[in-house]
Structure 1
Amino acid sequence: MTDVRIGVIGLGNMGTPHAKNLINNEVPGAVLTAVCDARAERLDWARQELGGDVALYENMEALINSGQVDAVIIATPHYYHPDMAMQAFAEGLHVLVEKPAGVYTKQVRLMNDAAAKSGKVFGMMFNQRTNPLYVKLKDLIASGELGEVRRTNWIITNWYRAQSYYDSGGWRATWAGEGGGVLINQAPHQLDLWQWTTGLMPKRVRAFCYFGKHRNIEVEDEVTAYVEYDNGGTGVFITTTGEAPGTNRFEVAGERGKIVVEDDKLTFWRLRVPEPEFNRTYQGGFGQPECWKCEVPVRGTATQHVGIMRDWVNAISQGTPLLASGEEGIHGLTLSNAMLLSSWTDSWVDLPLDEDLFYQLLQERISKSSTAKEADEYRKLDLSGTH
């Protein structure tokens, strides 16, 4: 079989290791043939580190029209993702996009439509889906082992970022440059896993986002959100970049007990009798179902970004199903958009999301962004992406 020829667009925090992994033959069946970055210093780096067989381009259009690539990895600032993906699909290329899918769902929906029309393989860099802990959690829920989900609770506050991090780039933590804060930059992994593992999207969201609460930034750096599901269940999502030490604890309660993922362990408090059955039949006073604490064995290794690239390449060359389909990127983004919209309007937000209203209110904040001009110029030059 012929190797899939891959181009990497954006040689920053994420594109650089992706290029290195390809050059180091970490992705069987794939070969790095081209890279693109608008900054001369990054192309100089590529010239020295990637070898003479990799073509260098200053702009994306030249790369995707070069005939030297079958597929591209897009690792650029968030606003670029949908437009660049759509251009690549139009040229008949397969696409893998770094998270998040974009900044607002209205734009991402257009990207998904373009992907579907192209017939090409569209992946999303949700590398946490390779973590055996979350794979096992998804399996336990989907198999019915936990019973119907009644409550979810994710506290993800170990995304600590100091002020110096935000000061390192003109586009960071601005509405004009980044389109949001912790929800769009750090927490997309958890927002994706939240709905991917449980199979649930809420019917409505009420959130309280705090903007520049802990840092001198204009976007959200602390969020507490409450959601309701169609089955009557509820969920809570808490995240911040201003807390130390942080916590990463995901708790899912169902009819047959409770599962907790924390400290790289999966613990299942399993009820011997499902709670609804116990409640229906028990005749005593303060009794409760017998419960067994089970440390569930989790086998395997989280292959992270390399694993997603391998999976994507296999889908291209062998037609295997994707672990992280690009079309699914809209789900987590819908949650973050809904949380922001709820805070902006100080009200509940029903799903499906009012995409036009979200876009309108986002544009208002972009127009008033204190770094709008600086961020716009920076984004024109910088294809680095960030985490």
Structure 2
Amino acid sequence: MDKVRIGIVGVGNMGKSHTEYLTKNQVNNAELTAIVDTDPARLEWVRSNHGSSNIQLFDNLEAFYASKAFDVVLVATPHYDHSAAAIQAFSHGYHVLVEKPAGVYTKQVREMNEAAAKSGKAFGIMFNQRTNPLYQKLRDLITSGELGEVRRTNWIITNWYRSQSYYDSGGWRATWAGEGGGVLINQDPHQLDLWQWTADMMPKRVRAFCSFGKYRNIEVEDDVTAYVEYENGATGLFVTTTGEAPGTNRYEVSGDNGKIVIENDTLTFWRLRTPEPQFNREFKGGFGQPECWKCEVPVVGAPGPQHKGITQNFVNHILNGTPLLAPGEEGIKGLTLSNAMHLSTWTDNWVDLPINEDLYYEKLQERIKNSTFQKETKELQLDVKGTH
């Protein structure tokens, strides 16, 4: 194989975005050869805008899979259908690249991961923020030991402002049946993934306080404060909302050798000349603290190639065995964090990780049953309704 053929499931906003860069040959050794969507208007959009690209169009999944017109299935359906579409693709012998989030609840994502492992096919997830050199550098400074042992993580991500008119633009928005959550499942999947990926560790337990419809007339969470504890004794805080203006995006990680802050697209390392544990052992002067240097760490190329970068990495993995930057199996990690935050709020208690997946599913179904938007479940939905 010298070229990877790609078929897209769902050509809503994200599907259109993938279509654009693939048809412009912006991913080396890749070719978009097929698209499936149940909405005739979206297929017409492909014909009108990319009719000369020789893309085969389908209006049902069975014909799409039976065509064997591609090697990779790129899943760009609504959240609830990501896992089901991926499992179906694996069963037909295709490699799978799935949009984020991996799903809405970990039980379905675990089934997707199991199907991927059984298939032996390549499996990736569209965590495009992992291509950002800012976060790659932070992960390097932590995993290499430059920061020392992590003591605290703190991410305030409140610049997701959304007005009531945004939520009113579609009855599916911000509903348990339509999206399966609010700011955690819609806006924050990238940050929840980066939170655990850069620190290279998952919490052992979570205590969260989610407010549902605090700032807007919606049924899901729009304001969250979560506290976590790690196995090594470190703690963490994650604060997010869609109802605050102006917002903040500041990610801070403290360790034995200082702290690193990412804010305003810059990475600052407040580097201790002497590690804090050593200083504490040796210093006898009463009041005092380690000498600290403010280091502006150069980061070239931010924000990185984003979606195109993940797709290119996936193609390179298939053709050359290049390690995956965002293995699909890791999608369950960030989702575990958001599920744990919901469950902690619903039970008004700590939640240990791994979470009780059956309990989460049960409580989610209760909310779906009473949701203002009743999702059609008889067949797989193949459209993506709106942007994040």
TM-score (norm: length of structure 1): 0.97
| Matched-pair contact (CA < 8 Å) for 1:177–1:376 | no
Match of 2:12 in 1: 12
Question: Where does 1:260-299 land on structure 2 (aligned, <5 Å)?
Answer: 260-299=261-300
Mapped contact 1:209–1:224 kept (Cα < 8 A): yes
Matched, 1:27 2:27: yes
Cα distance, 1:36 vs structure 2 = 1.3
Amino acid at match of 2:289: Q
Q: Partner letter of residue 78 of structure 1?
A: H
Partner of 2:310: 308
Contact 2:81 2:381 in 1 (8 A): no
Q: Contact conserved, 2:81 with 2:380, CA < 8 A, in 1?
A: no
Task: State the distance in 2 between where 1:70 and 1:174 align.
Answer: 35
- Unmatched 5+ residue regions in structure 2? none
CA deviations over 1:309-337 (Å, ceiling 9, x no partner): 00011111111110000000000000000
**What is the Cα deviation at residue 376 of structure 1?**
2.6
Report the equivalent of 2:351.
349
Percentage identity across paired residues of the two chains:
69
Using a 3 Å threshold, how does the CA distance of structure 1 residues 380 and 71 change in structure 2: closer, same or farther?
Answer: closer
Q: Distance in 2 between matches of 1:344 and 1:258?
A: 34
Q: Distance in 2 between matches of 1:131 and 1:271?
A: 26
Matched, 1:41 2:56: no
**One-letter amino acid of the structure 2 residue matched with residue 331 of structure 1:** K
CA distance in structure 2 between the partners assigned to 1:188 and 1:379 by the alignment: 25
Distance 1:381 1:126, change over 3 A: closer
> Residue 364 of structure 2 aligns to which amino acid in structure 1?
L
Matched residues in 1 for 2:179 and 2:45: separation? 25
The alignment covers a number of residue pairs equal to 385
CA contact (8 A) 2:151 2:254 kept: yes
Equivalences for residues 111-150 of structure 1 within 5 A:
111-150=112-151
Aligned-partner Cα distance in 1 for 2:327–2:380: 28
The equivalent residue for 1:174 is 175
Unpaired segments ≥5 residues, structure 1 = none
Contact 2:222–2:243 (8 Å) recurs in 1: yes
CA shift in 2, pair 1:131/1:195, >3 Å:
same
Q: CA deviation at 1:383?
A: 1.1
Matched, 1:334 2:336: yes
Q: 1:224-239 to 2 correspondence within 5 Å?
A: 224-239=225-240
Q: Which secondary structure state, in structure 2, belongs to the residue aligned with residue 31 of structure 1?
A: strand
Residue of structure 1 equivalent to 2:206: 205
Aligned-partner Cα distance in 1 for 2:379–2:226: 30
Q: Separation in 1 of the partners of 2:216 and 2:60?
A: 34
Hey, what does 1:383 align to over in structure 2? Answer: 383
Counterpart Cα distance in 2 of 1:38 and 1:378: 13
Between 1:259-268 and 1:29-38, the stretch displaced more is 29-38
Q: Is the 8 A contact 1:171 1:378 kept in 2?
A: no
TM (norm. structure 2) is 0.97
User: Is the 8 Å Cα contact of residues 154 and 249 (structure 1) preserved in structure 2?
Assistant: yes
Cα displacement string for residues 28-61 of structure 1 (whole angstroms, at most 9, x for unaligned residues): 1111111111111111101111224111111223
Are 1:170 and 1:378, in contact at CA under 8 Å, matched by a contact in 2? no
Q: Does 1:359 align with 2:351?
A: no
Q: Kindly provide the amino acid, as one letter, of the partner of residue 312 in structure 1.
A: F
Partner-residue secondary structure (3-state), 1:79? helix
